[in-house]
Structure 1
């Protein structure tokens, strides 16, 4: 092989590896795992990705529940609410 052929071959392999790494980072396609034989289908989301999505979903639910609890606490601690409770107790 000539020097130019070797240089082009190394350059082509480098471009493919960098492209696969970029696509892995951007879209979680797992192309590097597929090329090394670790996974059978690079386009199926990994369990780690699925777990991360579940964690994000739970975090959103927790944030919404915390907001609702804060709103309820604000309503219950208002002086008008206490007065309404006392009036209802007199009936």
Structure 2
């Protein structure tokens, strides 16, 4: 193989990869995942997985907010907090 052929093959591989990356970003075809063996069909958008991810994100956020509310309730119901509030109001 000549140097020109090796350079053309390398340029072709890079061009193919960039084209797949562009199609992935514009059309959500998942071609790169398909070539890596991470998905079964590159032309089906995985809306179910996206919905599950958003649901799990929301569940995590709700749990985090519940923890914050519990901490705030503990702070507000402490007798020291009420005493500080009365002192500050004077």
Q: Give the TM-score, by structure 2 length.
A: 0.50
SS at 2:41's partner residue?
coil
CA contact (8 A) 2:34 2:42 kept: yes
User: 1:47 and 1:70, CA in 2 relative to 1: closer, same or farther beyond 3 A?
Assistant: same
- Where does residue 54 of structure 1 map in the other structure? 55
User: 1:22 and 1:49, CA in 2 relative to 1: closer, same or farther beyond 3 A?
Assistant: farther
Give ranges in structure 2 of 5+ residues lacking alignment.
Answer: 83-90
Structure 1 residue 46: Cα displacement: 6.0
Structure 1 residue 66: Cα displacement: 0.8
Which of 35, 40, 47 matches 1:38? Answer: 40
CA contact (8 A) 1:21 1:32 kept: yes
When the two chains are superposed, the root-mean-square deviation of aligned CA atoms in Å is: 4.1
Structure 1 residue 41: Cα displacement: 1.7
CA contact (8 A) 2:31 2:42 kept: no
Give ranges in structure 1 of 5+ residues lacking alignment.
Answer: 81-91
Count of residues paired in the alignment:
78
Structure 1 residue 22: Cα displacement: 8.5
